[in-house]
Structures are given as C-alpha cells and as structure tokens.
Amino acid sequence: MRIAVTGTSGQLALSLGERAAAVAGVSVIRLGRPELDLLRPETVAPALAACGADIVVNAAAYTAVDRAESEPALAHAVNATGAQAVAAAAAGLGLPVIQISTDYVFDGTAPDPYAETAPTGPVSVYGASKLAGEGLVAAANPRHLIVRTAWVYSPFGGNFVSTMLRLAATRDTIQVVDDQLGNPTSALDLADGLVAAARRALYPGFSAWGIYHMAGSGAASWAGFAAQVLDESRRSGGPYATIEPIPGAQFVTAARRPTNSRLDTARAASVFGSGLPDWRLSVAAVVRRLAADSRAAAAEAAPGRI
Ligand SMILES: NC(=O)C1=CN([C@@H]2O[C@H](COP(=O)(O)OP(=O)(O)OC[C@H]3O[C@@H](n4cnc5c(N)ncnc54)[C@H](O)[C@@H]3O)[C@@H](O)[C@H]2O)C=CC1
C-alpha cells in the first residue's frame, strides 16, 4: 500500500513516514511545496498522479490557530479550497482520500465527548475553515474518510510539548489554562491509526465512508497535559517547572478555543480497530525520546565532556 501524504515537514506527515517504514508492505510518499501547493490547486493532480499512490492523506493545513483570525482568506484557501483540490484530484485518479480535521469544529459547550454526529459550531476562523474543508472534501470525493483529531504533538517541530520543555528550561513556574479539556494525541499514534484506516478503506467492498474521531485515549486540561510533560521530563533528566493552573479567561489569545473538545473515538476503534493508547503513555514516550535526542545532540557538540 502506497500512501501519499501532503505536508512534507508537518508533524503528521513526518510521523506517517516514520511509522510506515516499520510496517511491511506500506510506504509513504510525502508531498509538499513547491510541487504540491494547496494555494495553487492546479499543482495537486499532477503531483498525486506522479507518485503512484493507492490512497491520499491530506495532512497539510494552515494550522496557526491564532494567526488565522487575522488571515481568514488564507486559512480558508488552504484548509477549505486546498482540501477540496486534494479530494477532487484523488477522485479523478480513482483514489480514496483521508482528510484530517479537528476538534475545533465544535463549540465546546457540550458536557460529554463529541460523537461524529454531534452538531458542529466552530468558534474560531481556523475551526470554520476546517469545517468548510470537510464539506468540500465530502462533496468532491465520495470515497472519503474525514478524521478529526485533537491536541497533536510529536517529536517533530514545534508543538505544545516542545513549548513546555522550552519554557521549563528558563522558568520555575509556568501558567497554563486548566478549564479547557481535550485529548492530547501523539502524531505517531495517529499515524498508526491512519495506516489501519487506510488498509481497511482499500479492502474490496469497503463502504463505511464518512467522519471518524481519532485521538489519544483519556482526556486532560492543558495544565494537566503540561504537568504530565514536565513530570516525565524530570524523570528523564530534562527541564522541570511547576505548573500554575489558570482559567482560560486569564490567558487571552486571538482565537477562542472550545471549553470541552473531547472526542468520542468509539466509531474509529470499532471500524478500523484503531483505538489510540492512553495519552499519558504516549506523552511519556515522546518526552523520553526528546530527552534522549537532546542528550545525543549535546554529546555530539562536546564529545570530550561525557
Ligand atoms: N496540530 C494540532 O494540534 C492539530 C492538527 N490538526 C490537523 O492535523 C493535520 C496535521 O497537523 P500537523 O501535522 O500538526 O500540522 P503542521 O503545522 O505540523 O504541518 C502542516 C503542514 O502543512 C504544510 N502546508 C501549509 N500550507 C501549505 C500549502 N499551501 N501547500 C502545501 N502544504 C502546506 C506546511 O508546510 C506543513 O508541512 C492538519 O490538517 C491539522 O489541521 C487537527 C487537530 C489538532
């Protein structure tokens, strides 16, 4: 199975590449700018046609949630029109598409985890652009899986985990919001889930197209997530700071975030057998890996000093 994934250097594209390398018979081709640019829809079909994929994962996106508030047209162009171009090009090549979407399509007022059928109501430009993308993808390619995920981190690039570790290196205390709940999700676990979903989608006769929720098992507040990161960092010999929980009202950002964006992931677990691990285990694994990477980098920079 050859999986084409958009977003060459994105967290999810890199994670898919790494995880697929460990699975016999699965390969991942990462596609990105300039060959495939979601802002230039005419680039999408030729790039997909050239790579000979069996299925396409659209993981590329405009992901700067706060900046999107002042760049709504750009966010929409990438996350809605761009996603539509990927789905339509895949359809033209006879391929199914997996569109990655977000918990931020919900308004966050529900008391329980959101099922796929729950009413949407984004409270940010980013969430609205991703929701528009869902609709356009579904209309452009009947063989679509729309996979909503949440609070993604990985050993690659900037994310909440790397931010907490960076701040802990220079501060004793970090204030983190404690009244927004979600599902921290390792991009590596999500990659495993997507490989399982892609395999299933390619079975002859598969017909369960539609929306799925895939996220780490268990929920946390941002403050709880941060505390887990830093506890594990301390155990791994890395930086540590005390987390001071604060209400979201005290941490003003350009974009509003849903108060509760926990996702009910039962459908994906039952159709794809892709239940993701408990978020605490995956945070521990990523923090330990980052600590080992930074020890290796330090040893390489000063070989005589260990
Ligand atoms: N990071 C998170 O916390 C969450 C992410 N998601 C979704 O998961 C997916 C993967 O997210 P990440 O890997 O974390 O994102 P990321 O920000 O790490 O990577 C996004 C990638 O998209 C590429 N990209 C942006 N504009 C492009 C364009 N015009 N043409 C081609 N490529 C372009 C970027 O170069 C980058 O490689 C995205 O669809 C995102 O909306 C959903 C929920 C939470």
Please state the ipTM of this predicted complex: 0.99
Q: Which residue type sits at 150?
A: A
Say what percent of the chain tops pLDDT 90: 93
Mean pLDDT value across residues 260-288: 96
Lowest mean pLDDT among 108-117, 170-179, 189-198, 296-305: 296-305
Query: What is the reported pTM?
Result: 0.97
pLDDT of residue 298: 80
Contacts of 224 (CB under 8 A, 6+ apart): 178
pLDDT of residue 302: 73
pLDDT of residue 16: 98
- Residue 107 near ligand 1, beta carbon < 6 Å: no
**SS3 (DSSP) at 145:** strand
**SS3 (DSSP) at 30:** strand
pLDDT of residue 290: 95
- Residue 62 near ligand 1, beta carbon < 6 Å: yes
pLDDT of residue 288: 96
Mean pLDDT value across residues 15-26: 94
Mean pLDDT value across residues 73-80: 98
Q: Which residue type sits at 214?
A: M
Does 126 qualify as catalytic in the annotation? yes
Domain 2-301: which topology? Rossmann fold (3.40.50)
Q: How confident is the model at residue 102 (pLDDT cuts 50, 70, 90)?
A: very high
Longest C-alpha distance within the chain, in Å?
61
pLDDT of residue 30: 97
- Residue 272 near ligand 1, beta carbon < 6 Å: no
Chain-centre distance for alpha carbon 135: 19
Residue 305 has pLDDT above 60, yes or no: no
Mean pLDDT value across residues 259-278: 95
pLDDT tens-digit series, residues 39-70: 999 999 999 999 999 999 999 999 999 999 99
Residue showing tokens 């004793």: 172
- Residue 11 near ligand 1, beta carbon < 6 Å: yes
Residue showing tokens 């007022």: 109
Task: Find the angle CA(245)-CA(188)-CA(116) to the nearest 5 degrees.
Answer: 75
- Residue 102 near ligand 1, beta carbon < 6 Å: yes
- In a mutational test of the pocket of ligand 1, which residue from 5, 6, 63 has the highest number of ligand atoms less than 8 Å from its CB? 63
Which residue of the set 62, 104, 114, 126 is catalytic?
126
- Helices and strands in the chain: count of H runs, count of E runs: 10, 12
pLDDT of residue 227: 98
Residue 253 has pLDDT above 70, yes or no: yes
pLDDT of residue 301: 81
Mean pLDDT value across residues 259-272: 96
Q: How far apart are CA 115 and CA 122, in angstroms?
A: 15
Q: Which of 157, 192, 190 lies closest to 22, judged by CA?
A: 192
Q: Ligand 1 atom 33: the closest Cα is on which residue? A: 60
Q: How far apart are CA 108 and CA 166, in angstroms?
A: 29
Say what percent of the chain tops pLDDT 70: 99
pLDDT of residue 299: 81
Mean pLDDT value across residues 75-102: 98
pLDDT tens-digit series, residues 130-154: 999 999 999 999 999 999 999 999 9
Residue 298 in tokens: 């330090």
